[in-house]
Chains A and B, each alone.
Chain A
Amino acid sequence: MKEQWIAFQTLVRKEIIRILRIWTQTLLPPLVTQALYFIIFGKFIGSQVKAIHGVSYMSFIVPGIVMMAVINSAYGNVVSSFFGAKFQRNIEEMLVAPMKEWVIVAGFICGGIIRGLVVGALVFLMSCFFTHPTVYQISIVMVFMILTAAVFSLAALINGIFARNFDEVAIFQNFILVPLIYLGGVFYSILSLPPTWQNFSKLNPLLYMVNGFRYGFFGFSDVSVPFSTALLIVLTVVLWQVNIWLLKKGIGIKN
């Protein structure tokens, strides 16, 4: 058990070194993109949008934009780190060692969560240049940030396990993740949508993450916060099990 703990620490340390080594790819780009969102949506367009639940549009979009950065960073970190290890074959360093599957999963997931949290915190700090940030309940903010980062890290690991080339690394992020995020209520409250679209939006898991997170800032949400929390926990557990099963089977990494 001590041995597994050391292996886990080693993998997390390795992931942190990687994040810091290529910070121009891991930390900088989300800051630039999210700054553009603040400027374009918050300042230029937001000035013409009326307050939502008494919160200015600029403030309203802060949690969504932070969450977007958390999701993209966590996902991107795990999928590229794992696929990179497969591609350069240094994943074999883990396979020849007596490392349990859960240690490998936990190590990569921690890397994703750490990058998600760091980027999320930086984007939130950046939002202070555009608006007065408020936090209603910090514990909810943290729970949603960590669980969301965990869910997308786990999803990214599955993506990395199955990916056979760099296209398959990018494809999920571009064609599924980005639309889900945009339609997940980052820039609007779904209560302003026609009923059909409201119901349709409720099929999108991102809606629950963004709204739960937003609740932590302002104390209002389009959907039930306990339900959102439960959904995140269920997703984490299920995706965790899927990953363990895939690694045990050696899918994508062993012949």
Chain B
Amino acid sequence: MVAIEINNLVKTYKTGTKAVKGVDLTVAQGDFFALLGANGAGKTTIISILIGLVNKTSGTVKIFGHDIDREFDQAKRLMGVVPQEFNFNMFERVGDIVTIQAGFFGIDRTNALKSSEEVLKKVGLWEKRTAMARTLSGGMKRRLMIARALVHKPRMLILDEPTAGVDVQLRFGMWDYLRELNSQGVTVLLTTHYLEEVQQMCRNAAIIKEGEIVRLDSVRNLNKLIKQETYVIAVKKMQPLSGIESYHPVVVDEHTFEVNLNRDEQLNDLLIKLMEHGFDITDVHPKEQRLEKLFLSLL
């Protein structure tokens, strides 16, 4: 069973902008799929067509086998959406926003309340249920949209830049949650500008350029195309970075510096070298790279 089947999708806005120019795309059920592309590539337009916020110009779209021209209602029941921009009423209460969305999906009030409690607890907003949406922080607002997207227990979750404006701590939490959902069988489609996000979570990805898919591959294969990766290394105490000049180290502050590793270089070798030089390493993680870098190497 495929989750999404898009054939020759075209969207020309009234302004004349050709945002999508004949896209073919298949996303398998259970996949964790990334839609990548620079600003204005057409990612949001494609997503908006899938969920019924934008009318397509031509082409066909099937969601779990339901053609959106004929069985959009069935298709809609299976999708949950986290849009790129906040789209809830800022003057409604957090709990109401989620419960009302459940009601719109035809879930009776008792079950709507139960389900909204479940999802709000899951995203850590249960304590905020009586707060006005306007008073939430940016990261909380995004989590509110995730809760709202899940309240009707969709089989596929679509997220348009879900981690924009979310701090690192929260982002990791969100990743865990998305992975957990995916392991329970929920298909996930997301767009992002963070390479790390793709590498950590997604299995497959499509790269879109100016409304066309220029590459569709597994993340594993796409990874191979990245010639260089930057790591951020945190140490207890900074000391002269001698002996590792070949990694082009750059000091960030008194506890961190960055190094560049080529594809053929092993992170382990570097770490061993650092320890030999007496560095007390507290953390190593790949630097979030703007995906544009990847595109530059690809396109």
Contact = CB atoms under 8 A, between A and B. Distances in A.
B81 A96 contact: yes
A154 to B, nearest CB: 21
Contacts of A48: none
B52 A96 contact: yes
A99 B105 CA distance: 7
B55 A7 contact: no
A7 B104 contact: yes
B53 A254 contact: yes
A96 B156 CA distance: 13
Interface in B38-54: 48, 51-54
Given A98-B77, A99-B104, A85 B89 contact: yes
Interface stretch (A8-16, A36-44, A60-68, A121-129): A8-16
Contact of B54 (A3, A84, A89, A254): A254
Interface in B70-113: 72-74, 76-77, 79, 81, 83, 85-92, 96-97, 100-101, 103-109, 112
Consensus secondary structure, chain A interface:
helix
Interface residues of A, number: 28
A96 B88 contact: no
Contacts of B104: 7, 10-11, 93-94, 97, 99
* Size bracket, chain B contacts: 35 or more
Contact of A88 (B76, B77, B89, B96): B89
A255 interface: yes
B247 interface: no
B53 A4 contact: no
Nearest to A87: B89
Contacts of B106: 2-4, 6-7, 97-98
Interface in A94-113: 94-99
A143 to B, nearest CB: 30
B172 interface: no
B83 to A, nearest CB: 7
Contact of A93 (B14, B54, B100, B109): B100
B177 interface: no
A191 B57 CA distance: 57
A13 to B, nearest CB: 8
B105 A92 contact: no
Contacts, number: 87
Contacts of B91: 21
A88 B53 contact: no
Nearest to B80: A96
A128 to B, nearest CB: 34
A96 B109 CA distance: 19
Contacts of B148: 93
A29 interface: no
B260 to A, nearest CB: 42
Contacts of B92: 17, 90
A229 to B, nearest CB: 35
A175 to B, nearest CB: 28
B161 to A, nearest CB: 15
Contacts of B48: 255
A98 B285 CA distance: 43
A96 B103 contact: no
Interface string B53-77: 1110000000000000000111011
B52 A88 contact: no
A204 to B, nearest CB: 36
Interface string B1-14: 00000000000011
Contacts of B89: 84-85, 88, 90
A88 B108 contact: no
Contacts of B83: 89, 92
Contacts of B73: 98
A96 B148 CA distance: 12
Contacts of B76: 96-98
Nearest to B101: A93
B100 A14 contact: yes
B79 A255 contact: no
Contact of B55 (A2, A98, A255): A255
25 contacts: A3-B105, A6-B103, A9-B103, A9-B109, A10-B112, A11-B104, A13-B100, A14-B96, A17-B92, A84-B89, A85-B89, A88-B87, A89-B83, A90-B88, A93-B88, A93-B104, A95-B51, A97-B101, A97-B104, A254-B52, A254-B53, A254-B54, A255-B14, A255-B53, A255-B55
* 6 nearest CB pairs, A to B: A10-B103, A3-B106, A98-B73, A89-B87, A97-B104, A90-B89
Interface of B: 13-14, 48, 51-55, 72-74, 76-77, 79, 81, 83, 85-92, 96-97, 100-101, 103-109, 112, 148
Given A84-B89, A97-B106, 14 more contacts: A6-B103, A9-B109, A10-B109, A17-B96, A21-B91, A85-B89, A88-B87, A89-B86, A90-B87, A90-B89, A93-B97, A96-B53, A254-B52, A255-B48
